[in-house]
Structure 1
Amino acid sequence: MKYLVLVFALFANSVLAHSLKGSWQLVSGFYVDEQGQTIDYEGLKLSAIKVVSDNHFSFITMADGKFWAAGAGDFEATDSTYAERPVHTSYPVPADGQFRFDYVLDGDLWQKKRWQDGKLVEQEVWRRMP
């Protein structure tokens, strides 16, 4: 029985990773900066592509046609949470080494929210690329 549970857990994790697997284009979003101000991605003219494999992610973001940020590393996902552990980045990584999001996958849209101390500090919407 123990082996059946292990096989199911590994299969479930593989299915979840597969549901996020692919190339994604940023649609919209915002983040809260160090001063507590909400910064809308549209105002920054951000565009980004994120690639998710079975166990790894990478992305590059441009602001009005110029480099903004990039990162790559591994991740873990459940049916409602997604945690990136960046290894290579152009930005500071939190002390615990990860960014945790709640997410909803609705067809070709991936909506992610990140909370800090009970406050929404980042929200993104990504569209799966053909």
Structure 2
Amino acid sequence: MNLKVGLIILTSALIPVLNFMNTEDQTPKDLPIQGTWQLVSGVTIEKGKSTFTDYKKDMKQIKIINDTHFAFFNHDLKQGKGPKPVFVAGGGKYTLKGNEYTEHLEYCNYREWEHKTFSFKLTMKGDTLIQRGLEKDEKIGVDHEIIEKYVRLKD
């Protein structure tokens, strides 16, 4: 009888340990990032200089994320008729492990950005998503850190 009680206690103690150790194969469901997000602000840090952008002022950008892919669309609010017309679109596959989010940009209207990989750390607070990481590629002449703030769009 004491052997059975000892095995039950040992098994009960091992189950949480085994569950804790089984965190290697994390899936995109770790952070609830699937959905449509609107970029509201961003900070670009390049050569020690920070530039803040309010994306609600003159443009609108959304990012759509499903289980395997992301896409983003950015355009000015004057339908291209202002002094600085903007339209940017891109997308591809992504991976998510814990808060490590990596975009594999497969499509982009700035074609030199295609087939680049960018890694970010994500932070979520309610319906706010913060994406922070480096965009660096010598071939396209980009080397800066970005911090972007998104809010989840409701249906």
TM range (shorter): 0.7 to 0.9
2:64 pairs with one of 51, 72, 79:
51
Whole-angstrom CA distance in 1 between matches of 2:99 and 2:50: 24
* Deviation, structure 1 residue 103: 1.2
Q: Which residue of 2 aligns with 1:42?
A: 54
Between the aligned partners of 1:15 and 1:68, the Cα distance in structure 2 is 31
RMSD: 3.1
Is this contact kept in 1: 2:34–2:67, CA < 8 A? yes
Report the TM-score, using the length of structure 2 for normalisation: 0.63
Structure with the largest fraction of strand: 1
Alignment of 1:92-111 (within 5 A): 92-93=112-113, 97-111=116-130
Letter aligned with residue 123 of structure 2: V
Whole-Å separation in 2 of the counterparts to 1:37 and 1:63: 25
1:63–1:112 Cα change, 3 Å: same
Q: What letter matches 2:108 in structure 1?
A: T
Aligned to 1:15, what secondary structure does the other structure show? helix
Unpaired runs of at least 5, structure 2: 1-18, 81-85, 137-142
For residues 60 and 49 of structure 2, the distance between their equivalents in structure 1, rounded to whole angstroms, comes to 21
Where in structure 1 do 4 or more consecutive aligned residues deviate above 6 Å?
none
> For residues 32-65 of structure 1, what are the alpha-carbon distances to aligned partners after superposition, in whole Å with 9 as ceiling and x for unaligned?
46x7754432287332111100000001011343
Higher-Rg member (1/2)? 2
**Residue 29 of structure 1, aligned match among 31, 42, 61:** 42
